[in-house]
Copies of this chain bind each other. A is one copy, B any other.
Amino acid sequence: MLRAMPPDSATSPPSARARPAGAALWIAALDRGAPLPLSRQLAAALRAAIAEGQLGAGARLPSTRALAAELGLARSTVVAVFEQLAAEGYIAAQPGSGYFVPANLTEVRAVPPREATLPGMRPVSRSISRVGRLLGELNPQPRTPPRPFELGHADIDARLVATWKRLASQTLSGRSRLDWGYGDPQGEPALRQAIADYLAAARGVRCRPEQILLTSGTQQGLSLAARVLLDPGDAAWVEDPCYRAAIDILRAAEARIVPVAVDDQGLNTGGLDIGAAAQQGDMSRGGTPRLVYTTPSRQYPLGMAMPLARRMALLAWAAAAGAWIIEDDYESEFQQPARMLPSLQGLDRAGRVIYLGTFSKLVFPALRLGYAVLPEDLVRPFTAARHLADRQSSSLLQAIGGHFARHLKLMRAIYAERQAFLIAEAERRLGGWLTIRPQGCGMYVTASLPSRWSDRGVAEDLAAAGVGALPLSALILEKPRPPALVLGTAGHSEAAIARAVERMAAAFAGKPV
C-alpha cells in the first residue's frame, strides 16, 4: 500500500507552518523488500501526504540532501522525485528555499467533507434517483454455500464438465474463428440462426434470425422489455404466484403491478372479454395493462401448462387491447417436446409477444447467455437498449454456448434423474408430509405440505437444519394457497438430495399433521 500513514493515525496534525516537514511523516511507507522502486514509493508517499493534508498549504519540504541522507537514498533519486511532483502540481519550487506545497491545493481542500454546508448554501444532498431509492430497498441475495434445495445453483455433473472442457478447448483452438472485439450488437448471426432453427422445431416459434436479440439471460430480457415498453405508472399484469425477480424488475420500472389469479390452466383469462374489454378504458382492476408477464409452458412455481384455447384467448385479448405479452418460456427445453404446446409466440398473428429464453438452464448459470424473440418493430429499440446497457454478450460465451447447446439430451437426462431421485426419496422418507406431483421434468418441483402447516415456518425450520426451501407463500402476491415448498433439484447431487431428505424427515418427525 502506497500510503504515508494509516488513515486513522493521529500522531501529527496537519502542519501549515512554513518549516520543513520531517520525513518521519512518510518514511514508514518505504519498503526495501517491495518490488516497487524506492523512488516510486517515495513519490506515492509524498502525494498521499499532500492529498491527505499531512503536508498542508505552504509546508516546506526538507532539502533533497537532508531527505536523501535520512532515507538512505541517492540525492539524484530524491531530486528526480521532487521534479516529478513539481511537474504534477503537488509541490512548487521557491528559488533559494527549496520546495513547498502550494496554497491553491489546500485552499480547495479546505471544504469540509461529507454532508458539509457552507454559509447560506442548501444542505448538500446525497440524493439519488427515484429508481435508485427503490433499488436501495432491494437486497440481492447474499452469496451462501449452496444448500439443497435452493434454486439457481449448479452442481455440474462430471459428464458435463468433461463435455464443457472439450468444447471450450475446441472453441479456443486455432481452428475456430473467434471475434475478440465487440461483435454484432444483436449477437453472432450464426448463433441467432441456430436459435431460430431450434425454436421453430422445438417450440413452434416463428421468427427470422433478425428478430432475435442475444441477452445475458431471461432477467436481462425482462429488464430490457420493462425499459422499452413501460412508462412509470403503467399497469403490468403478472401471474399470482409469480417469479420474484420479475416483480422486482417491474417494480424498478415503476410499473403498477396487478396480480392475476392462476387456476389449473395457468393465467386466468376468464375476465378478459375481448369485445367489452376493448370498448372500456378500464375493463378490469388497474385498467388495460401495457404488458402481461406469463409463464405458459410451465407456470412458475405451480407447474401447470396453459392449454391451447386459453392461449388463443389471451392472444386475441392482447391484440384487441394493444397489450404486450412477455412469454417466459423457462425450462421448456426439459419437457417432452412431443407433449408441449406451441409457444404463444408461434400462435401470435398480431406481433404482441416478446418470447424470452435462456441458456442458463440449458448449460449452466455462469454462462450468462439468453435470447429474446421480438416483433419486428421492437428489434431496434431493444437492441439499442441492450447496447447502451452493456453493449453485447461476450463472443467467447456465445461461441461456447452455441456448441454446448447441442448436448441438450444429456442435460435433460441428468435433470430428470435428479428430480426422479428426489421424488422417490421423498415418497420413501417423507410420505404423509410432502406430496410431489410429477410435473414434467425440470429444475425444480413444488411440493405440497399438510394443509395446516405454515410453509414459511417450515422453511425457517429447514433453514436451521441446513436445508434451503422456498415457501410458496413468499411468491404469492394476493390470493392465498395451500402451503407448499419450491425445491430446486437440478443444481444438487443425488448425495446432497439424500442427505437433505434425511434432515427434512428429522425436522418433520413429531410435528402434528
**In contact, B90 and A308 (Cβ under 8 angstroms):** yes
Query: With A108-B316, A227-B131, A319-B124 as given contacts, are A168 and B172 in contact (CB-CB < 8 Å)?
Result: yes
Q: A370 → chain B, closest Cβ, in Å? A: 9
Q: 8 tightest A-B contacts by CB?
A: A121-B278, A132-B228, A89-B308, A154-B181, A220-B390, A140-B185, A135-B384, A140-B387
Complex interface residues of chain A between 88 and 134 (CB less than 8 A to chain B): 88-90, 102, 104-105, 108-114, 116-122, 124-133
Q: A24 at interface (Cβ–Cβ under 8 A)?
A: no
Determine the chain B residues whose CB is within 8 A of the CB of A229 once the complex forms: 128-129, 132
Q: A477 at interface (Cβ–Cβ under 8 A)?
A: no
Q: A146 at interface (Cβ–Cβ under 8 A)?
A: yes
Query: With A154-B181, A390-B217 as given contacts, are A395 and B366 in contact (CB-CB < 8 Å)?
Result: yes
**In contact, A367 and B396 (Cβ under 8 angstroms):** yes
Copies in the complex: 2
**In contact, B320 and A230 (Cβ under 8 angstroms):** no
**In contact, B366 and A181 (Cβ under 8 angstroms):** yes
One digit per residue, 1 when the CB lies within 8 angstroms of any chain B CB and 0 when it does not, for chain A 267-282 equals: 0000000110011010
**In contact, A131 and B228 (Cβ under 8 angstroms):** yes
**In contact, A180 and B390 (Cβ under 8 angstroms):** no
Partner of A216, one of B119, B228, B385, B391: B391
**In contact, B121 and A316 (Cβ under 8 angstroms):** no
**In contact, A366 and B396 (Cβ under 8 angstroms):** yes
**In contact, B321 and A491 (Cβ under 8 angstroms):** no
Determine the chain B residues whose CB is within 8 A of the CB of A44 once the complex forms: 204
8 A-B pairs whose Cβ atoms sit less than 8 Å apart in the complex:
A89-B309, A109-B316, A114-B351, A116-B320, A119-B279, A121-B278, A128-B381, A132-B228
Query: With A135-B228, A384-B135 as given contacts, are A365 and B181 in contact (CB-CB < 8 Å)?
Result: yes
State the A residues within 8 Å of B (CB).
1-2, 7, 36, 39-40, 43-44, 47-48, 51, 84, 88-90, 102, 104-105, 108-114, 116-122, 124-133, 135-136, 138-141, 143, 146, 152-156, 164-165, 168-169, 172-173, 178-185, 200-201, 204, 206, 215-217, 219-220, 223, 227-231, 234, 245, 248-249, 252, 274-275, 278-279, 281, 290, 307-309, 312-313, 315-316, 319-322, 337-339, 341-342, 346-347, 349-351, 364-368, 377-378, 380-385, 387-397, 491
Partner of A227, one of B39, B114, B126, B129: B129
Q: How far does the alpha carbon of A58 sit from the alpha carbon of B393 in the complex, in Å?
A: 47
Determine the chain B residues whose CB is within 8 A of the CB of A139 once the complex forms: 380, 384
18 A-B pairs besides A108-B316, A116-B320 with CB distance below 8 A are A2-B200, A2-B204, A105-B308, A109-B312, A110-B316, A121-B279, A128-B229, A131-B227, A135-B381, A135-B385, A138-B388, A153-B182, A180-B366, A223-B388, A245-B388, A249-B388, A368-B390, A394-B394
Q: How far does the alpha carbon of A133 sit from the alpha carbon of B231 in the complex, in Å?
A: 11
Q: A248 → chain B, closest Cβ, in Å? A: 6
What residue of chain B has the Cβ atom nearest to residue A152's Cβ?
B182
Q: How far does the alpha carbon of A143 sit from the alpha carbon of B189 in the complex, in Å?
A: 10
What residue of chain B has the Cβ atom nearest to residue A223's Cβ?
B389
Determine the chain B residues whose CB is within 8 A of the CB of A164 once the complex forms: 172
**In contact, A385 and B124 (Cβ under 8 angstroms):** no
What residue of chain B has the Cβ atom nearest to residue A137's Cβ?
B384
**In contact, B390 and A219 (Cβ under 8 angstroms):** yes
Partner of A116, one of B319, B380, B397: B319
**In contact, A275 and B118 (Cβ under 8 angstroms):** yes
**In contact, A204 and B321 (Cβ under 8 angstroms):** no
Determine the chain B residues whose CB is within 8 A of the CB of A109 once the complex forms: 312, 316
**In contact, B349 and A138 (Cβ under 8 angstroms):** no
Determine the chain B residues whose CB is within 8 A of the CB of A128 once the complex forms: 228-229, 378, 381
Q: How far does the alpha carbon of A290 sit from the alpha carbon of B153 in the complex, in Å?
A: 39
Q: How far does the alpha carbon of A223 sit from the alpha carbon of B154 in the complex, in Å?
A: 29
Q: A316 → chain B, closest Cβ, in Å? A: 4
**In contact, A322 and B125 (Cβ under 8 angstroms):** yes
Query: With A245-B388, A338-B43 as given contacts, are A105 and B312 in contact (CB-CB < 8 Å)?
Result: yes
Determine the chain B residues whose CB is within 8 A of the CB of A350 once the complex forms: 111, 113-114, 116
Q: A364 → chain B, closest Cβ, in Å? A: 4
**In contact, B146 and A349 (Cβ under 8 angstroms):** no
**In contact, B307 and A391 (Cβ under 8 angstroms):** no
